[in-house]
């Protein structure tokens, strides 16, 4: 007797209304689902508010507009014709063809220095994760730049208050939506793994220290975070004033300006602030970042991890071999010159300068200076998180050393963001395709399969497998390369030289 298979269920009832998805390339997708009310009008620069339920069925066939940002390559978030709007708080779900016993859920936070990025970027297409990993994949938009990551509370008035950490609060609202609704898409709300790269990784290490996010995710896989990138009090207020000055806005006019200025005007001013001002005045700091406000984010993340007050969930955290090399060539915002490094130490821990720089043979040569900047911003605080969290919850450390031939030809090696096509298995287009144009595709795919396999095992079991956990005795670290290996305490001399460094806190 012939058997028939029920058609995939594309209509799902969410807590706000019914959504209908699409079927393509062997997966089901739902795109552009609102998870919070539009953050516009009086809701601009305020914490996200609940969505008003809708009537009928929402057609979830298309991505929502991307958050306001500078336009560039579509793979970075916003191409020349990409729809863009402040009304951007939408979430996307990709799931296997049929619901089965609830599947692990992977929630991705995109990078982009908190100023660019979007869930619709083809770089973050989760189809390979879903098809080969048997998981449910989620990615959401969150507010960027001044509209999401700056502190304008000094300009609040009784009639026009401004909140802080609204971009971080967007992410919490999205995770809350996942808890309420993911079962309808075949996901397990009790098995949610968050993962993210760069600003996405920073978001996760901050969210692990946000009390209102507790219980919304159960595991964290963190790529190239800069966990020390959170500030307050002092610097965020200063940067807000600098931004107003860059736009020619007087102090007394700031409340009205923040309520009425176009998003494009704010985007342009943030670009000047983050590329021209802070790299020289506070090298290594980011003017758009989580704010230690004493309430939503009560403690600096490094301090929270050390005090055991971060959410005690399994954590995988790691970095690229040379994080700073990308910024030296593409986005000149790190302390990768002698002048910026001198300023960085003068503004933070001047007594450590000679000790740290002695651990970088060849300094002040350019390569050594680039490594100082990359280590200060990315590697060192990631090590600090790993060593602190390992005292309270299972923790694993990795380093991604593999560089496709093109990356070596460009003089960057295994640098920032080159693990993104690896974790998604997307080497057929965009950055992944470019990196393999000069050859080495087979090896790149193989390394990516192993790296992605660690993420998927972690999501299923709570352990990435294949290498021991991290502790301050051995500091065991997995090295992903053309041939993987395990090392004990990589860069020990550098780590010890940086001991006591706190940065711009």
Q: Which residues are catalytic?
A: 198, 323, 416
Tokens of 263: 């998003």
Count of Cβ atoms closer than 10 Å to residue 201 Cβ: 28
CA angle 398–402–408, rounded 5-degree value: 140
CA distance 149 to 236: 9
**What are the Cα distances from residue 54, in Å, to 14, 15, 37, 390?**
10, 10, 12, 45
d(CA 276, CA 101): 52
The count of other CB atoms within 10 Å of the CB of residue 104 is 22
Paired tokens of 249: 């806005």
DSSP 336: -
Tokens of 113: 């220095």
The residue written with tokens 């058997």 in the block is 3
Angle at 231 between CA 225 and CA 234, to 5 degrees: 165
SS3 323: coil
Closest listed residue to residue 124, CA positions, set 218, 236, 31: 31
Distance CA 384, CA 303 (A): 10
Before 128, cis peptide (omega within 30)? no
Cα separation, 141 vs 222, in Å, equals 18
| CB neighbours of residue 83 within 10 Å | 12
- DSSP 3-state of 253: helix
* C-alpha closest to that of 310 among 398, 393, 198: 393
Q: Which residues contact 438 (CB under 8 A, 6 or more apart)?
A: 404, 405, 406, 409
């Amino acid at each position: 007797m012939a058997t028939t298979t029920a058609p995939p269920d594309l209509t799902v009832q969410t807590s706000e209304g019914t959504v209908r998805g699409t079927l393509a390339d062997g997966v089901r997708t739902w795109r552009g689902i609102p998870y919070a009310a539009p953050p516009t009008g009086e809701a601009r620069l305020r914490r996200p508010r609940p969505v008003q339920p809708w009537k009928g069925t929402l057609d979830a066939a298309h991505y929502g507009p991307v958050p306001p940002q500078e336009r560039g390559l579509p793979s970075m978030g916003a191409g020349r014709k990409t729809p863009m709007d402040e009304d951007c708080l939408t979430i996307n779900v990709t799931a296997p063809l049929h619901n089965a016993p609830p599947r692990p859920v992977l929630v991705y936070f995109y990078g982009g220095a908190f100023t660019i990025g979007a869930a619709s970027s083809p770089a973050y297409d989760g189809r390979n994760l879903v098809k080969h990993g048997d998981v449910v994949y989620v990615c959401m938009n969150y507010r960027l730049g001044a509209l999401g990551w700056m502190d304008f509370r000094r300009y609040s008035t009784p009639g026009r208050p401004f909140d802080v950490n609204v971009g971080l609060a967007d992410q919490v609202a999205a995770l809350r939506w996942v808890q309420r609704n993911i079962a309808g898409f075949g996901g397990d709300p009790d098995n949610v793994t968050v993962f993210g790269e760069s600003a996405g990784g920073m978001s996760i290490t901050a969210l692990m220290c946000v009390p209102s996010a507790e219980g919304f995710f159960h595991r964290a896989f963190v790529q190239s975070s800069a966990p020390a990138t959170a500030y307050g009090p002092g610097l965020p207020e200063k940067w807000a004033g600098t931004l107003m000055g860059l736009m020619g806005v007087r102090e007394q006019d700031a409340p009205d300006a923040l309520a009425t200025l176009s998003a494009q005007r704010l985007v342009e001013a943030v670009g000047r602030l983050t590329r021209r001002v802070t790299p020289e005045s506070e090298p290594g700091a980011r003017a758009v970042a989580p704010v230690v406000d004493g309430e939503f984010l009560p403690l600096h993340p490094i301090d929270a991890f050390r005090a055991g007050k971060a959410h005690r969930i399994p954590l995988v955290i790691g970095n690229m071999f040379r994080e700073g090399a990308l910024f030296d060539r593409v986005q000149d915002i790190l302390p990768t010159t002698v002048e910026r490094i001198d300023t960085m130490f003068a503004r933070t821990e001047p007594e450590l300068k000679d000790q740290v720089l002695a651990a970088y043979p060849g300094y002040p040569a350019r390569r050594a200076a680039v490594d100082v900047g990359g280590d200060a911003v990315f590697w060192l605080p990631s090590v600090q998180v790993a060593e602190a969290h390992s005292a309270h919850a299972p923790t694993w450390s990795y380093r991604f050393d593999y560089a496709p031939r093109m990356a070596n030809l460009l003089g960057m090696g295994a640098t920032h963001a080159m693990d993104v096509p690896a974790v998604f298995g997307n080497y057929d287009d965009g950055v992944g395709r470019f990196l393999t144009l000069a050859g080495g595709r087979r090896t790149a795919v193989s390394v990516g399969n192993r790296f992605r396999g660690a993420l998927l095992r972690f999501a299923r079991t709570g352990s990435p497998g294949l290498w021991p956990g991290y502790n301050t005795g051995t500091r065991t670290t997995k090295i992903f390369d053309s041939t993987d290996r395990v090392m004990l305490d990589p860069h020990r001399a550098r780590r010890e030289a940086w001991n006591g460094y706190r940065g711009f806190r």
